[in-house]
Each structure stands twice: as C-alpha cells, then as structure tokens.
Amino acid sequence: MKEAVPGYYQNFQCIADRCKHSCCVGWEIDIDDETMAFYESLNTDLGDRIRKSIEGEEPHFILGPDERCPFLKEDGLCELICECGEEAICEICSLHPRFKNFYPSFTEMGLGLCCEEAARLILSAEEPFSVKMPENIQLTEEETMFLAIRQTIFAVLQDRNQNVKERFDSVAKLFGFSFDFSLKKAQKLYVSLERLDESWTDMLEGLKGFSFDESIFKSEKFQIFFEQLAVYFVFRHLAEAMWDGEYGARVRFALLSCFLIGALCAQIESVNGQISFEKMADVVRQYSAEIEYSEENVAKLMAELSCC
C-alpha cells in the first residue's frame, strides 16, 4: 500500500532517555504474534526473563512498580533494544507515536501528540502543514472528494491574513455551526469522561469559574501553535468521515479540542502571569493521552457532538 506522510514526518526521532514522559510507563504493552515468536525462540537468560514477564491470553508485559515496563532501565533506555537491537521490541513500541489513516488507494502516516517530542516538532513548525502524497497514485472518486473537502479546511486554518479565532469561526461556519462553545458545558463534558492522571483532573477542575475570553486565539505569539494544533486534529480525525459522512461532528471535535486546550492554557497563564511554549505543548500532550488514546472517550465526544 502506498503511503502519504506529513512534511515533518521524517524529522521525528525518539529522544529515548531524554523523554520526561516515557511511553514505557503507564501504557499496556501488547505483544504481537511475530514478536512473541521471537521471544519464544530466545534461548538466553534474557529470553527466560522476557517470557516470565508476559501474561494474558492476548500477551502483554506485566508492568512493574509505577506501571513501568519491566525492561525500561533506570537510565530511561530500553533493555531489549540495548541487548538485541530494535527488532526485539513489539510492533506497538516500534510504531508509537505513529498512527495510520487508511484509504482505498493509500495509507497516511502521522505522529500523535501524546509524545512530547512529536508535540514539539508539530506545534513549533513554522512552515504550513502539508502532506506528501505518493507518486502516480490513482485516487477513487470518494478519495478525491474527501481530500478536496479537507484541503478547503486546511486552507482556511492556514490563512495567516486572519487571526486564529477568525479562522476557527470561518471553519465552523463552513459546517453550519458557530465557534461559541460554553466553557462550563465543555468542562462538565470532559470531567465526565474516563480520566487516567490526577493532574489532568486537577487541570479540568481549575476551569471551574474561569472567565475565558478567547484572547489567547488572537495573540500573535500563539498563532502558529494553534494553527498547527487545529490542522493536526483535522488531519488525524477527519479521515473516518470519508466512510461515515460525519464531517460536521469531526470538525466540531477538532475545534472543541482547540477550545478546551486554549482555555486550559489561558487559565494557567492567568495564574502564573505567563505560559511557555513547553508548558502549552505539555497541556496538549496530556489532552492527547487522555482523550485521543482512549477509544471510549473519543466515541463519547463524537456521539455528543453528532447531536449538536
């Protein structure tokens, strides 16, 4: 299958032991059949340790204290890679934080924002987002229509003659709604979802009573950040609309995500007097981990937004 990737895709590289929020902590690590066969073939002490660290009918590693992968070393490096090379890790580990959007004629590869390095790379990119399509590809009629709709959205979101708030308003208008979300209702909705990290709950609770004037979307210093954020959400989540036709709900999801993240960042700025790019990117990372990487949470949000 031919692959299409964003312009920044090839620039991503795992920062391994320099990562503050390791994907080897707090995530269930499923083991695919091919990797399991490799582990079963290892006639070494390490092989014995690996097999003793696996459980379940659908095999996965038994996490240790603080939900750490049993092969995450104290220095933040992977023992399996250090000892056997990258071919020793599971498919889920080698792919993360990448995701795939599947179409009849090609597959899109992207980077998920739950990874701090991917978030830094995506949200700081000065160049407008673009997708490198494979050469000599024959698109179906449905694909051509979908890509045209998506490109229209991208064009509005990337119109730097307008501030981000005006762009959000314009995109919402294209799909028959207004960018006028209620922070009180949004806060209540997100608190009702499954939550993993107490710090995420604390951030959501901090929005109670906060007066959000949306000026953060008009601030010059945050224009690139919110442009790339909105484009990312459209790129990642609009794909399913080609199959189910739910363009409006998926655009609402993208804009609501930006709205909530904007409110969280503005609330932090109001308390501290300022907010750094690093802190804003970390808010995005937490949002992605809590929302995008929970199929249940995404489904609940889509169901809610489909009713609007």
pLDDT tens, 141-189?
999 999 999 999 999 999 999 999 999 999 999 999 999 999 999 999 9
Nearest to 123 by CA among 257, 289, 287, 285: 285
Strand partners, 3: 107
Report CA 98 to chain centroid distance, whole Å. Answer: 9
Per-residue tokens: 90: 């599971």
Same domain membership, residue 153 and residue 88: no
Domain contains 107: no
Residue 115's pLDDT band (boundaries 50, 70, 90)? very high
Q: How far apart are CA 91 and CA 178, in angstroms?
A: 41
* CB within 8 Å of 184: residues ≥ 6 apart: none
Per-residue tokens: 49: 């340790």
Residue 20's pLDDT band (boundaries 50, 70, 90)? confident
Domain contains 115: no
**Residue 35: predicted pLDDT:** 93
Residue 286's pLDDT band (boundaries 50, 70, 90)? very high
Look at 78 and 122; give whichever has higher pLDDT: 122
Same domain membership, residue 170 and residue 228: yes
Same domain membership, residue 284 and residue 175: yes
Contact call for residues 209 and 219 (beta carbons, < 8 A): no
Which of 64, 95, 126 is the endpoint of a domain?
95
Same domain membership, residue 210 and residue 70: no
Domain contains 223: yes
Sign of CA dihedral 60, 61, 67, 68: negative
Q: What is the pLDDT of residues 185-203, one digit of tens each?
A: 999 999 999 998 899 999 9
Domain contains 230: yes
Percent of all residues in the chain with a pLDDT value above 70, rounded to a whole number: 100
Residue 179: DSSP 8-state: S
**pLDDT over 70 (residue 308):** no
Percent of all residues in the chain with a pLDDT value above 90, rounded to a whole number: 77
Which of 61, 95, 129 is the endpoint of a domain?
95
**Residue 228: predicted pLDDT:** 98
Q: Residue 150 carries which side chain, given as an amino acid letter? A: R
Which of 95, 122, 150 is the endpoint of a domain?
95
Between the CA atoms of 176, 179, 180 and 185, what dihedral angle is there, to the nearest 10 degrees? 90
**Residue 194: predicted pLDDT:** 94
Look at 109 and 75; give whichever has higher pLDDT: 109
Domain contains 101: no
Same domain membership, residue 159 and residue 274: yes
Domain contains 208: yes
**pLDDT over 90 (residue 28):** no
Report CA 243 to chain centroid distance, whole Å. Answer: 21
Domain extent, residue 237, equals 138-306
Same domain membership, residue 257 and residue 201: yes
Contact call for residues 61 and 31 (beta carbons, < 8 A): yes
Domain contains 61: yes
* Half-sphere exposure for 95 (CA within 13 Å, toward CB): 12
Contact call for residues 35 and 60 (beta carbons, < 8 A): no
Residue 120's pLDDT band (boundaries 50, 70, 90)? very high
Domains: count for the chain: 2
Residue 257's pLDDT band (boundaries 50, 70, 90)? very high
Same domain membership, residue 202 and residue 64: no
**pLDDT over 70 (residue 227):** yes
Same domain membership, residue 252 and residue 169: yes
Task: Using the structure block, give the residue that is written with the tokens 């609007």.
Answer: 308
Same domain membership, residue 300 and residue 167: yes
**pLDDT over 70 (residue 268):** yes
Contact call for residues 53 and 70 (beta carbons, < 8 A): yes
Look at 123 and 65; give whichever has higher pLDDT: 123
For the chain, give the mean pLDDT: 93
Domain contains 116: no
97 prior amide bond cis, ω within 30: yes
Q: How far apart are CA 50 and CA 27, in angstroms?
A: 17
When pLDDT is averaged across residues 272-297 and rounded to a whole number, the result is: 96
Same domain membership, residue 142 and residue 291: yes
Q: Residue 42 carries which side chain, given as an amino acid letter? A: L
Residue 116: how many other CB atoms lie within 10 Å? 21
Look at 105 and 57; give whichever has higher pLDDT: 105
Same domain membership, residue 207 and residue 82: no
**Residue 64: predicted pLDDT:** 86
